[in-house]
Amino acid sequence: MRKKVDFLVIGSGIAGLSFALKVADYGKVCIITKSSAEEGSTKYAQGGIAAVMYTPDTYEKHIKDTMIAGDELSDEKIVRITITESTERVKELIEWGANFDKNASGKYDLAKEGGHSEFRVLHHKDNTGNEIERALLNSIASHPNIEILENHFTVDIITQHHLGIEVNRRTNDIRCFGAYVLNEATHEIDTYLSKVTLIATGGNGNVYNTTTNPAISTGDGIAMVYRAKGKVENMEFIQFHPTSLYNPNEKPAFLITEALRGAGAILKTYDGKEFMQKYDQRGSLASRDIVARAIDSEMKINGWDYVYLDARHLEKHKLIDHFPTIYAKCLSIGIDITRDMIPVVPAAHYNCGGIKVDEWGRSSILNLYASGESASTGLHGANRLASNSLLESLVFSNRASIDALKEVKNITYCKEIPDWNSEGMVMNEEMVLITQSLKELQLIMSNYVGIVRSNLRLKRAFDRLDILYKETEDLYDKSILTTKLCELRNLINIGYLIIKMAMERKESIGLHYSIDYPRNRD
Ligand code: FAD
Ligand code: SIN
């Protein structure tokens, strides 16, 4: 099957959907999504979306908090753009139908999270992402120019490479002509030709053994762009959320939102003592890199499997009213958060790096934009400030739409693109070749490339990954493609990028902490 669309959007989370809504009045939009439309990290976002709404908060305060959280590695220009556009973007989201909680005086009930100096996080109870995704999908459904194709897996973006023309990473003339997409129902790989393509494929938490990310987060978009010789950066900055619920073997790990600490919950040791003041004067509300490392250190020194989050002193009805999802989830495994402490452990949560884009969401490949977690805008630097990612997605999808609408008139389809050739490929009959390699990859990454790293651990991970890489490429070259095989290949690619960039960074900064490079930036 061959199809032509003006705008090809890969991903149906906040980044893809908000971009689609902005361009749909000006051309045909096709959204490709590998699972059901609502599935993705967006749906699971708990804490909320950070934006400057009322005094005493100011753009300057939010900018300062973002720069501090990012360990001063964020691009200040991009931080300023994002924060100063926050109020307008959130208002637009509200116009699209998203409901955020209000207090008795009718103002938005703003929450606080780690690293924020003010209350500025808009939320819908503790299931904000679900509300945002609902509102966006609802608006999409009523737009005649937007089509969503579920259970369609994008294998690769199409560039000159597919016309037999060599491209390399140093040139600036690589061009995107669309994408090859595996239709799960027909098992065919179809050709989608587009004028503009947006990658909004989200994160890659599944490269680790324990993650808060849903199963779809396998870094596909980043791997595709890297294979197409586009620029990818900052992959060493993987954010581990300090508090996922300790419930061994549950995948994904259930998140205990940072907003609970914002509401007053306190981290305690296995034997019930506060410990965060030892690490940072902001205590349990220090920024995420610091809290996750402190928990990791307490667990390792003492041989504990988890620490506790104590919310027992908070007002019972307020606790249940603001955090109904967490209350119900914990209760389902026998923990009453109004009476019991919650066992928590850090889990891989967010990728601060990704496809390098400029202030208009343009990647290094022509006609290709990226937004959301798969993109690296420069906002997060070495560590993301909590609840800044939903905001970043809105701001950069909007900016990408403005640029794409200017450009699209001058772009024509490339008719010479060949269809996908599966000739001679055979069905891989042994799923174990994929599932076992995935487990190995996740263990290598968790054990050697986690919260605390060293040169030796990184080298060991690199060497182990090389074996998995060769075996998987070999399998890929002779197999009829399946989503699982492609995801494994992409995750290995992501693991390689994280390790390579971690090896190149010879300092400890933000989320990249190496015992070989004691911190010297303080
Ligand atoms: P996603 O919402 O993950 O969507 C990715 C989309 O791409 C999906 O539709 C997926 O199916 C599709 N896709 C992926 N690969 C392919 C492929 N090969 N082919 C076709 N489709 C593909 N951030 C905040 O700011 N505030 C919060 O409170 C917050 N809480 C969070 C809680 C949890 C549990 C998690 C996991 C994350 C949280 N985050 C939060 C982070 C935030 O939710 C994500 O960074 C953000 O939602 C990413 O949006 P996205 O549109 O980039 O990706
Ligand atoms: C949370 O609710 O703690 C997650 C917020 C985020 O990842 O930004």
* Mean pLDDT, rounded, for 346-361: 98
Ligand 1 pocket test, candidate residues 134, 148, 390, most atoms within 8 A of CB: 390
Identify the residue whose tokens are 């032509």. 4
* 431-480+482-504 CATH pick, 1.20.58.100, 3.30.930.10, 3.40.470.10, 1.10.1740.10: 1.20.58.100
- With vertex at residue 73, the alpha carbon angle to CA 70 and CA 77, rounded to the nearest 5 degrees, is 95
pTM for the model stands at: 0.98
Ligand 2 atom closest to the CA of 258, numbered from 1:
3
Ligand 2 atom closest to the CA of 50, numbered from 1:
8
Taking only the tens place, the pLDDT of each residue in 389-428 is 999 999 999 999 999 999 999 999 999 999 999 888 988 8
Taking only the tens place, the pLDDT of each residue in 366-398 is 999 999 999 999 999 999 999 999 999 999 999
Asked whether 314 and 263 are in contact (CB, 8 A), the reply is: yes
Beta strand pairing call for 354-356 and 375-376: parallel
* Mean pLDDT, rounded, for 25-39: 98
| Any ligand 2 atom below 6 A from CB of 309 | no
pLDDT at 30: 98
Give the Å distance between the CA of 347 and the centre of ligand 1: 16
Taking only the tens place, the pLDDT of each residue in 45-60 is 999 999 999 999 999 9
Phi then psi for 340, rounded to 5 degrees? -110, 150
Ligand 2, atom 8, residue with closest C-alpha? 387
Taking only the tens place, the pLDDT of each residue in 429-487 is 889 999 999 999 999 999 999 999 999 999 999 999 999 999 999 999 999 999 999 99
Stated as kind and residue range, the H or E segment containing 49 is strand 49-50
* Mean pLDDT, rounded, for 21-40: 98
Ligand 1, atom 38, residue with closest C-alpha? 45
pLDDT at 516: 98
| Any ligand 2 atom below 6 A from CB of 386 | yes
Q: Which residues pair with 453 in a beta bridge?
A: 514
Question: Given pLDDT bands bounded at 50, 70 and 90, which one contains residue 323?
Answer: very high
Q: Which residues pair with 108 in a beta bridge?
A: 102
Q: Which residue, 459, 358, 435, is CA-closest to 403?
A: 358
pLDDT at 520: 65
| Any ligand 2 atom below 6 A from CB of 190 | no
Q: Give 58's Cβ-side CA count (13 Å radius).
A: 4
* Mean pLDDT, rounded, for 244-256: 96
| Any ligand 2 atom below 6 A from CB of 383 | no
Beta strand pairing call for 354-356 and 266-268: unpaired
Ligand 1, atom 26, residue with closest C-alpha? 387
Give the Å distance between the CA of 107 and the centre of ligand 1: 28
Q: Which residue, 318, 341, 314, is CA-closest to 245?
A: 341
Give the Å distance between the CA of 123 and the centre of ligand 2: 11
Task: Give percent of the chain above pLDDT 70.
Answer: 99
Give the Å distance between the CA of 432 and the centre of ligand 1: 28
- Return the percent helix, strand and coil in the chain, to nearest 5: 40, 20, 40
Query: Which residue ranges does the chain devote to CATH 3.50.50.60?
Result: 2-236+352-410
What residue spans of 285-354 are helical by DSSP H? 288-302, 316-322, 324-332
Query: Which residue ranges does the chain devote to CATH 3.90.700.10?
Result: 244-347
Give the amino acid at 253.
A
Ligand 1 atom closest to the CA of 391, numbered from 1:
25
CATH entry 3.90.700.10 includes domain 244-347? yes
Phi then psi for 435, rounded to 5 degrees? -65, -40
Give the Å distance between the CA of 453 and the centre of ligand 1: 26
| Any ligand 2 atom below 6 A from CB of 239 | no
- DSSP code at position 409: G
Phi then psi for 94, rounded to 5 degrees? -65, -40
pLDDT at 428: 84
Cα dihedral across residues 40, 129, 385, 245: positive or negative: negative
Residues 6+ apart with CB under 8 A from 223: 489, 490, 491, 493, 494
pLDDT at 493: 98
What's the residue count for the chain?
522
Can you give the three-state secondary structure of 106-175, one letter per residue? Answer: CCECCECCCCCCCCCEECCCCCHHHHHHHHHHHHHHCCCCEEEECCEEEEEEECHHHHCCCCCCCCCCCE
* 2-236+352-410 CATH pick, 3.90.226.10, 3.50.50.60, 3.90.1280.20, 2.60.120.480: 3.50.50.60
The radius of gyration computed from the CA coordinates of the chain, to the nearest angstrom, equals 22
pLDDT surpasses 60 at 137 = yes
| Any ligand 2 atom below 6 A from CB of 154 | no
Give the Å distance between the CA of 178 and the centre of ligand 2: 33
Q: Is 170 a catalytic residue?
A: no
pLDDT at 207: 98
| Any ligand 1 atom below 6 A from CB of 220 | yes
Residues 6+ apart with CB under 8 A from 104: none
pLDDT surpasses 90 at 72 = yes
Ligand 2 atom closest to the CA of 388, numbered from 1:
8
Ligand 1 pocket test, candidate residues 18, 33, 41, most atoms within 8 A of CB: 41
* Mean pLDDT, rounded, for 241-264: 96
Q: Which residue, 491, 482, 507, is CA-closest to 443?
A: 491
pLDDT at 188: 96
Taking only the tens place, the pLDDT of each residue in 155-204 is 999 999 999 999 888 888 999 999 999 999 999 999 999 999 999 999 99
For residue 348, give the ligand nearest its CA: 1
Nearest-angstrom CA–CA distance, 410 and 424: 39
Q: Which residue, 96, 69, 95, is CA-closest to 389?
A: 69
* Mean predicted lDDT score pLDDT of the chain: 97
List the catalytic residue out of 89, 288, 293, 489.
Answer: 288
Question: Given pLDDT bands bounded at 50, 70 and 90, which one contains residue 521?
Answer: low
Ligand 1 pocket test, candidate residues 8, 10, 42, 127, most atoms within 8 A of CB: 42
For residue 204, give the ligand nearest its CA: 1
Ligand 1, atom 46, residue with closest C-alpha? 42
